[in-house]
Chains A and B, each alone.
Chain A
Amino acid sequence: MTEMLLVLIIVLAVFSLISRDLIHSVIALSAISLLSALIFTLHWAFDVAITEAAVGAGVTTIIFVWALKHTSRKDI
């Protein structure tokens, strides 16, 4: 199960790197943090999973979208 989740994380990471629209990259990064929290839970690291869910999925996404609001959305 962990290998399948790691493959999904690699697919999303490559997509967030090659995407030209930065909103799509932010969505992919949010999905990456979600899957990372699940992997941490599967390996019995509950405190790390709680921190990853709070910081990675919540605060980082909000800060990225807030920064995109003030800058350009297209990757140059």
Chain B
Amino acid sequence: MISTVLTVMKYIFIIFAAASVVKIVIAKNRSEKLIALMILSSVILALLALIAVDSDQIFILDVALVYDIFGFLGLLAIARFLPQVRHKKDREESHDS
């Protein structure tokens, strides 16, 4: 019973991940893409924890922990450097005009 519920939840999370990927591809704004990437990160973190519970392997939780730390660093880098990148682009456009 519990195994069936966990398997159904795995496929539900995969569908959520597919919806997040579609949002990353079709979003016009880059902040929308960043938010979709954060949602994808959270969904896959939950999926890793679900697989760890389902298969009773504790090493998967190590993968989830390492991914959470470094994925947060990557998202932080994108969010930190994006205003400077936009500022430089605007400065170049003002120089051009």
Contacts and interface: CB of A to CB of B under 8 A. Distances in A.
Interface of A: 1, 4-5, 8, 11-12, 15, 21, 23-24, 26-28, 30-31, 34-35, 37-38, 41-42, 46, 49-50, 53-54, 57-62, 65-66, 68-69, 72-74
Contacts of B92: 72
Interface string B54-97: 00000110110011011101110110011011001100100000
B61 to A, nearest CB: 10
Contacts of B24: 12, 15, 27-28, 31
A30 to B, nearest CB: 6
Contacts of B48: 38, 41
Interface in B1-47: 10-11, 14, 17-18, 21, 24-25, 30, 33-34, 37, 40-41, 44, 47
Interface of B: 10-11, 14, 17-18, 21, 24-25, 30, 33-34, 37, 40-41, 44, 47-48, 51, 59-60, 62-63, 66-67, 69-71, 73-75, 77-78, 81-82, 84-85, 88-89, 92
A27 B78 contact: yes
Given A30-B75, A58-B73, 10 more contacts: A1-B11, A24-B30, A34-B67, A34-B71, A37-B63, A38-B48, A53-B70, A61-B75, A65-B78, A73-B89
B62 A50 contact: yes
Contact of A66 (B33, B40, B59, B81): B81
Given A41-B63, A58-B71, A68 B85 contact: yes
